[in-house]
Amino acid sequence: VSSRAATNWASVPMGPADPILGLTQAFNEDTHPKKMSLGVGAYRDGTGKPYVLDSVRKAEADIVSAGLNKEYLGIIGLPDFISASVRLMLGDNNPVLGQKRLAAVQTLSGTGGCRLVGEFYSRFLGTGTALYLPNPSWANHKNIFRDAGLSVKQYRYWDASTCGLDLDGMLADIADMPAGSVVLLHACAHNPTGVDPTVEQWEAISKACKARGDLHLFFDAAYQGFASGDPERDAGAVRMFIEDGHPIALCQSFAKNFGLYGERVGCLSMVCTDDEEAKRVESQLKVLIRPMYSNPPVHGARLVSKILKDQELNKQWRAECKGMADRIITMRTKLRGELERLGSSRSWAHVTDQIGMFCYSGLTEEQVLALRKDYHIYITNDGRISMAGVSDDNVDYLASSIVAVAAEALTPCASVREAIPGRRALRVLSGPRATGYGEETWLTEAWLTIIAEGARLGLSYRGEPAGGGNYGGPGPAGRPWPVHARDSDQQQQREQAADRT
């Protein structure tokens, strides 16, 4: 009889599941034909498939045919990639480059760049230094900087009442931050809200930070070119702050804008006082990198370097990047248009006012869970929708589902009895009486059909219980009661029997 030796890990607790990866798993296990995965921040084409840029394929073919070796890179990474990366964001003629005042290294995409700068801040500003994130921010920011030894705090950013920027709150919080604090700013396409400051608002933010003079500014840039479709426009805030004299740190990721999610390509750069300081900063970044991951991977860096340095490939990449951005902008327009066509009483202007991959919908967590359970649409609990997963084939279903969970379909109106061809009547079932008739089926199928057809006929809705009168109150969790269409006298008799009970 064999016996298994006890391990030393019996007391190790189960770690919490990653909320986004868990969402993907739930989607994969869902068998509903209309299911939608709108949680993960990865671009999809118009058919819902992963998209590899043609410029990337061409660059890859050239690199493979060149027969390059697979030797280790140096600690800082591929020099040609680093040069091309910082020039893309800062511009070829930025004085910081000419004066050699920039310390820069290749990183493991944006996540690795954030962790590296977090370790740098912790070592040279002190463990426990306050780092301020916008509220809200990318969920992983908190984990990264907390584990780097920083004290993670928040400043006001999202204004729920306008679905826009709380500029006054942000400026007030900047003024109140302790001296020596780090302030994280999203360079463009703020994640998760999609709300970016205007040029005038960026100027006010720069002025407020300049007035302090004792804050450390860090830009996280994950969407250059992917936000507006124009890399120069998306670099505007970073270039403005450097021109205003801020010694910023900058993290760049090439996952979204080059579609290199699995290659882990990024760059961290820090503006310094002079070239001598830049050399010292770079040396300390190397000290941090060596025991952390030693050196970065080579293939993705070669791809980005090849594309940015080759005139034709660069031109093609810019066109493809604009194409991705334009498709998302088009989906925003269609989603807003369908939401408004369905007669929703709330404003959906923020859907098109926001920019980038994500739409911060304004749905509550309760409504998000209803969207998932009843309509098989998977978005994060904060209401963030990845617009990259929205297409011509599913945008109408998404809109009608949002209207349904937001209880926007029940408004005072004309009766819908006999309104839909082929149906004798429409009936709203309430409470326990609904459960015997397959409530979930009606919510996911008939309800959406009724909303869409009624909107086409110019109708909005009120429920009519079998006994007469009007019922316009909310159903479970504040949602409309399920609607069922009666097609036969036999069905009507069954419902009347249920009414008596």
- Calculate the alpha carbon distances from 305 to 13, 64, 83 in Å: 43, 14, 8
3 state DSSP class of 193: coil
Nearest to 176 by CA among 214, 202, 203, 150: 214
What is the rounded distance in angstroms from the CA atom of residue 159 to the CA atom of residue 137? 13
What is the rounded distance in angstroms from the CA atom of residue 226 to the CA atom of residue 76? 26
Phi, psi of 224 (to 5 degrees): -60, 125
What is the rounded distance in angstroms from the CA atom of residue 258 to the CA atom of residue 296? 18
Q: Is position 220 annotated as part of the catalytic site?
A: yes
Choose the catalytic residue: 166, 173, 196, 220: 220
What is the rounded distance in angstroms from the CA atom of residue 229 to the CA atom of residue 330? 12
3-state helix, strand, coil in the chain (%, to 5): 45, 15, 40
DSSP summary character for residue 445: I
Contacts of 151 (CB under 8 A, 6+ apart): 128, 129, 130, 131
Choose the catalytic residue: 58, 138, 202, 317: 138
Is residue 93 left, alpha or beta, with left meaning phi > 0 and alpha meaning psi from -120 to 50? Answer: alpha
Structure tokens at 152: 């993670």
What is the rounded distance in angstroms from the CA atom of residue 492 to the CA atom of residue 498? 10
Q: Is 426 exposed, middle or buried (0-12, 13-18, 19+ CB in 10 A)?
A: buried
Are 153 and 147 contacting, i.e. CB atoms less than 8 angstroms apart?
Answer: no
Angle at which helices 199-212 and 236-243 cross, to 10°: 40
Q: Is position 138 annotated as part of the catalytic site?
A: yes
Greatest extent of the chain over all pairs of C-alpha atoms, in Å = 88
Counts of helices then strands in the chain (DSSP H, E): 21, 15
Choose the catalytic residue: 256, 306, 334, 447: 256
Are 389 and 48 contacting, i.e. CB atoms less than 8 angstroms apart?
Answer: yes
Q: Is position 447 annotated as part of the catalytic site?
A: no
Are 376 and 36 contacting, i.e. CB atoms less than 8 angstroms apart?
Answer: yes
What is the rounded distance in angstroms from the CA atom of residue 83 to the CA atom of residue 101? 13
What is the rounded distance in angstroms from the CA atom of residue 261 to the CA atom of residue 255? 4
* Amino acid symbol at 250: L
3 state DSSP class of 107: strand
What is the rounded distance in angstroms from the CA atom of residue 30 to the CA atom of residue 117? 39
Contacts of 100 (CB under 8 A, 6+ apart): 275, 278
Catalytic residues: 138, 220, 256
